[in-house]
Structure 1
Amino acid sequence: MSALSALGQAPGSSIDVQHYRFAIDLNDADNVIKGQATLTVKFLKRADKFTLDLAKQNSEGKGMLVTALKEHGKAVMFLQDSDKLIINAKGAPGSVHSYRINYQGTPTDGLIISTNQYKHRTFFGDNWATRARNWLPCVDHPADKASVEFLVTTPAHYKVVANGLKVAEKLLPGNKRFTHWRETAKLPTKVMVIGVADFAVANPGNPGDTPVYTYVFPEDKEVGFNSYAVATKILPWFVSKIGPFPYKKLANVQSKTIFGGMENAGAIFYYEKSVNDKGIEALMAHEIAHQWFGDAISEKTWQHVWLSESFATYMANLYLEGTYGPDSLKSRLEDDRKLIFAFEKQYLAPVVDSAFKGPMINMLNTNAYQKGGWVLHMLRRKIGDEAFWKGVCNYYKLYNGSNANTDDLRAVMEKVSGTNLKPFFYQWLRTSGHPQLKISQVYNDAAKTVAIHVNQLQALPYQFTLELLVDGKLYQMNIKGAETILTLSSASAKPDIKVDPNVNLLASFVQ
């Protein structure tokens, strides 16, 4: 896994890749792939050379070996160094150049070449976070987004799925098949993929004129076609809430991804046994939400990965709330709250974790998913449903096809709500931990009143609204300091008090 070096600027920051054209040749005799990548790049500043990401061959013979690199047919000098491809080519600011890279090798990762549970050979791209470099020469960072096309030559018995629309497919001499997919929207490399297998394919519907396809292994055809068809219900719900679907088709694909689901743009890959997963609807909702958040809008740097994962988490929860009622949302929030508190005991850090060190895969943690999702829930409660959804729609309109960070989201939400959200974003996203509240009560028999004391036990106090249900009546307390007291009339010395009855606060409670 790539470590901390990948967290900063895009490694090719002197250039902006405009378009990738990957011609990939696969075979059944061995795991060697032959590639020809044509990159259209725009120079952002004057440079004598620039760098792409590509893992070179290692001592075991795995990795990619570049055999030729040309611009307009003329050889260009280059150097492969570890996972970098250094290209000695000059460019002036604003100039656009096209480079053709011939390479081959056995991928160490990124393109998973293996057999499925039925012992049939498969090929699946699996690029998150910076694993595309193991089989594609690219700028392997979410800040550099480009359109992409895949031209894949395989043995004839395979079907190929990829980003975008299929623009050509034909049989070739030698019992081979050529398939060409093209995506015109700009994508980060983490979601540029191909899937190659003996697929059974269905089209369960075309909601809003967006064709939805199912790709599963033939042995799982019956159950897979049935379970994956729920996508035709999920997709229009998100379109109605967020805005138009960013891509021209949605394929849901049974695969060999190392993740439960991987949000590849317009071609989502799910783990192999997902066709029998009772939670497939929630999983699909998460991955389909990613098409807007993570794919269409991508984080500027990895520290802001919560903008992808938390949005997908909370949007899936909101879909389930809208479909099955508010209790489903409450239940999931309660479960997530427990996960967050347990995770804090292992790793105490803010959601926007600028001090993160370690394998990239460890960024996919409870902070990035559940805690960030909880923050979005509290934001929704703070500014109200109307402003929240308006902000979500505006955020998508503004950053579709580009990148955003946490402050960009805050600015959008401040504008729609007319509220200064800096304190809210700082305490929930840039501060570790959570409010730890002790709730106690003191009864005054003479005055027939009860004083409800709320004490914050953590070092630094948070500011928030706490809901209390006292003998069936809802009260809201504005908590700011270490102790806040609410005094109420009460005929009972021990009124029934339910803390946070609507599950709207990420806090732990002691009574």
Structure 2
Amino acid sequence: MKFSNLFFAALLCVQQFLSAQNPTYQPEREKIYNLVHTKLNVDFNFAAKTMNGEAWITAKPHFYSSKSITLDAKAMLIHEVKMNQKPLPFSYDDNLKLTIQLPKTYQKDEEFTLYIKYTAQPEKVYQKGSSAITDAKGLYFINPDGLNKNKPKQIWTQGETEASSCWFPTIDAPNQKTTQEIYITVPNEYVTLSNGILVNQTKKGNLRTDYWKMDQKHAPYLFFMGIGEFEIIKDAYKNISVDYYVEKEYAPYAKAIFGLTPEMIGFFESKLGVKYPWAKYSQMVVRDYVSGAMENTTAVVHGDQAYQKPGQLIDENIHENTIAHELFHHWFGNLVTSESWSNLTLNESFANYSEYLWREYKYGKTDAEMHLYEQVSAYKDGQNIDKKLVRFDYADKEDMFDEISYNKGGAILHMLRKYVGDEAFFLGLQTYLTEYQYQATEVHQLRLIFEKITGKDLNWFFNQWYYGAAHPSLEISYDYNTLRKTVTVNVLQLQADTFQFPLAIDIFEGNARKRHQVFVSGKDASFTFPYQTQPNLIQVNADGVLLCDITENKVLNDYIFQLRKADNFEHRREALLQVAKRQEDKNAFDAIVNALDDDAYKIRILALQQIDLINKFAKKDAIQKIMKMANNDPKTLVQAEAIHTLGKLTDPELKPIFLKALESQSYSVLGKALVSMYYVDKPAAIAKSKQLPDEVRQILATPLTRIFIEENDESELPFVAKNVLSGMFLTGDDATKNLFQKAFKQITESNNTEAIQNVVDDMVVKGKQYQQFSFDKVVINLMRTMIQEQQRLNKSNSEKNVTIIKAAMAKLL
């Protein structure tokens, strides 16, 4: 599972976490019975948003003999339960647990098959979602009445964590494994997708039944159905079908979005030493999805944020990491599954780290370091920094889907890899996957694999990183002995618990660098190294592997040297931000200019954002360099930032650069050029803004909003209104939030009924989408503000606008 809109979700659910009930020990689900096989036959009532189902559940006692079985079955109508055509007595506890009395006592490993006829009612499911998975009703009908002409009819499912039992009876626990087959009956115009292979299709009138079969065992939460009008774009890896299910509009771009998938499969196979274990690999993009993506075995589902046009893809495929993430789950999570949500790290931390592995292979070490830095920063900025990676005391299983299980867990795997070495690390993964294939595991089993391979005792590593919390906070100081020509590096741990860890220390003498590997085992450690000439810089955690915070005293010259010579992206980034504070110093300004040539494109972007062109030093030369970047940098995102930086100068002589950029295929370049042009030639920028196709205008909503709001262009308020709420709450950029707050104020005070209608329509959609985070209450308060303002202004359309707003409020109240 890869989640999206985390910033927004975390913002809105802080009080939910704070008010969580007292945590208790959360064990692995007891195995009273083992699932063996699940067979389903389903069809749908679109109008009622229900599913008619028949289930044949084959199970057997795990160890102890038993005469009854309890299945998870949420909010269903249970019509009959039979075995061998004979009715069985059953009870249905709170519409959650279906307990069936068996005709005899069954012994260990003695199989039986139950038949259950039922109706799934997802709209009557009341279990809550989380910040990662925003809903938990299992089965979703999208635009089932077809009233929204801008949205297709679709049906799809979401099983994680325990929502598959909202659409079929099962033992809904991650430590269960079952084979499956599903017969799905739909109108002929729809395609279907499920796990495994499409065996056959049978037409009967205007209906068709698709038969999907999965011969390998996997957990119930990984079951999937997707139904709708999709184009199927065919691809392949060796003899494995790799298909992309997308709406017709995006069919021409499907391979540009997903086309690296076959290469990813080959890379992960090679890296892990384990072949892709399943019969096919399909990916479907759906509307109104409740998360980012989900790794349903052989049938991955993505939210529609995966959809991108060529003008976006030329900048970067923002969904590429997610594609790698969900694919890697097919080894870690699907082939071998965490036995409990407490051990979620065995699924999500590996999938998170796969993003690093892919980027390292495809784009190089620096690119991977940039990604790791952002992942670690998100963890450190999160709300859960003091929580353990393996948690048996969570208040709710949904709380496990956080920056600890994902980001921190990925960083811990990176540390483990560097400690044991690549050969041992990847052999360990291969051994783990091979030994426990089609099984459920806990973290200790992973540890024992690595201990067996390396001969090392790794309890210390797993105890502090998997079963402990937080991370080291280090204070670094240096003692020089000029007579002996030695330097002592002092490492003081400031946090409460003492960590032990390997640490890389680089010592620079002139342009020569020597790396020292040390091991810190105490609260206060010191390491002495010889030198020939006085070191220019000592860089602690030089490889960026250790997850930690570091405090040390460095002067400007240290940071200038670090910006130029540090090996790791994070250290160059740190130095750049420090140097940027001192640009009144010519050496500092020159260092920022030199950073515009850094091989890390995000350093180049940051240098562009930080450079002070009001500075008196070599301003002309710096501008010339930035002009070249605007035209020729190999990364369009850097070109865009260069144009933005030049735009701040509001210099008419730069107009030719902006004119050229207005013809760019890159939407990021085009967006920045529009705003920059606006400040040197308003008519040209406005004319270009209005000439853009609607699909491009939608993508460039933020820069266009900036122009339209500053221009006070009321005719464009309806367009702006469609994007206000997303801009105000779904972005992490304060400048963007402020812009859209200003836009909201302008719409609220306007007489433009179309704009009012558009913004409240968006409010209703977003309010419902994030209802469990009480965002509907935020939206209602905004609507009340709008009503008060309309009544105060009392313009010609005010009464009509108030009626529109009140009607929207009624949909949420």
Give the TM-score taking structure 2 as reference length.
Answer: 0.60
Give, in whole Å, the separation in 1 of the partners of 2:57 and 2:50.
Answer: 22
**SS of residue in 2 equivalent to 1:293:** coil
**SS of residue in 1 equivalent to 2:368:** helix
Q: Which residue of 1 aligns with 2:73?
A: 54
Among 97, 104, 107, which residue is 2:122 paired with?
A: 107
Q: Which residue of 2 aligns with 1:480?
A: 521
Q: Which residue of 2 aligns with 1:59?
A: none
Among 183, 203, 212, which residue is 2:242 paired with?
A: 212
Residues 204-256 of structure 1 show CA distances to partners (whole Å, capped at 9, x for unaligned) of 2x213111011111222112243122212111111112211121000011124
Q: Which residue of 2 aligns with 1:316?
A: 355
1:284 aligns with 2:359: no
Deviation at 1:442, TM superposition (A): 1.8
1:28 aligns with 2:46: yes
1:363 aligns with 2:423: no
Give the 5 Å matches for 1:384-423. Answer: 384-423=421-460
Q: Which residue of 2 aligns with 1:78?
A: 90
Residues 455-493 of structure 1 show CA distances to partners (whole Å, capped at 9, x for unaligned) of 111122111111111112111221011111122234666
Residues 50-78 of structure 1 show CA distances to partners (whole Å, capped at 9, x for unaligned) of 1100113xxxxxxx100000000000011
**SS of residue in 2 equivalent to 1:481:** coil
State the AA in 2 paired with 1:49: S
Runs of 4+ in 1 over 6 A off after TM superposition: 1-6
2:233–2:254 contact (8 Å) kept in structure 1: no
**SS of residue in 1 equivalent to 2:117:** strand
1:187 aligns with 2:200: no
State the AA in 1 paired with 2:106: G
Give, in whole Å, the separation in 1 of the partners of 2:507 and 2:247.
Answer: 56
Q: Which residue of 2 aligns with 1:202?
A: 233
Q: Which residue of 2 aligns with 1:169?
A: 201
1:510 aligns with 2:551: yes
**SS of residue in 2 equivalent to 1:112:** strand
Give, in whole Å, the separation in 2 of the partners of 1:254 and 1:434.
Answer: 37
1:267 aligns with 2:285: no
Deviation at 1:43, TM superposition (A): 1.7
Give the TM-score taking structure 1 as reference length.
Answer: 0.94
Among 267, 286, 305, which residue is 1:237 paired with?
A: 267
Q: Which residue of 1 aligns with 2:705?
A: none
Give, in whole Å, the separation in 2 of the partners of 1:478 and 1:5.
Answer: 36
Give, in whole Å, the separation in 2 of the partners of 1:356 and 1:10.
Answer: 15
Q: CA RMSD in A?
A: 2.0
1:70–1:100 contact (8 Å) kept in structure 2: yes
Deviation at 1:29, TM superposition (A): 3.4
Q: Which residue of 1 aligns with 2:111?
A: 96
**SS of residue in 1 equivalent to 2:307:** helix
Give, in whole Å, the separation in 2 of the partners of 1:28 and 1:303.
Answer: 37
2:40–2:182 contact (8 Å) kept in structure 1: yes
State the AA in 2 paired with 1:348: D
Q: Which residue of 2 aligns with 1:178?
A: 209
Say how many residue pairs are matched: 499
**SS of residue in 2 equivalent to 1:29:** coil
Percent of paired sites with the same residue: 27
Question: Greater RCO between the two (CA within 8 Å, min separation 6)?
Answer: 1
Deviation at 1:28, TM superposition (A): 3.4
**SS of residue in 2 equivalent to 1:26:** strand
1:330–1:502 contact (8 Å) kept in structure 2: no
Query: Is 21-30 or 364-373 further displaced after alignment?
Result: 21-30
State the AA in 2 paired with 1:196: I
* 5+ residue gaps, structure 2: 1-15, 124-136, 553-813
Q: Which residue of 1 aligns with 2:537?
A: 496
Give, in whole Å, the separation in 1 of the partners of 2:392 and 2:121.
Answer: 34
2:27–2:392 contact (8 Å) kept in structure 1: no
Q: Which has the higher strand share?
A: 1
Relative distance call for 1:166 and 1:7 in structure 2 (3 A) is farther
Give, in whole Å, the separation in 2 of the partners of 1:418 and 1:6.
Answer: 32
1:14 aligns with 2:32: yes
**SS of residue in 2 equivalent to 1:48:** strand
Query: Is 186-195 or 439-448 further displaced after alignment?
Result: 439-448
Relative distance call for 1:336 and 1:297 in structure 2 (3 A) is same
Q: Which has the higher helix share?
A: 2
* 5+ residue gaps, structure 1: 57-63
Give the 5 Å matches for 1:426-505. Answer: 426-471=463-508, 472-490=513-531, 495-505=536-546
Relative distance call for 1:117 and 1:480 in structure 2 (3 A) is farther
Relative distance call for 1:291 and 1:411 in structure 2 (3 A) is same
Deviation at 1:361, TM superposition (A): 2.5
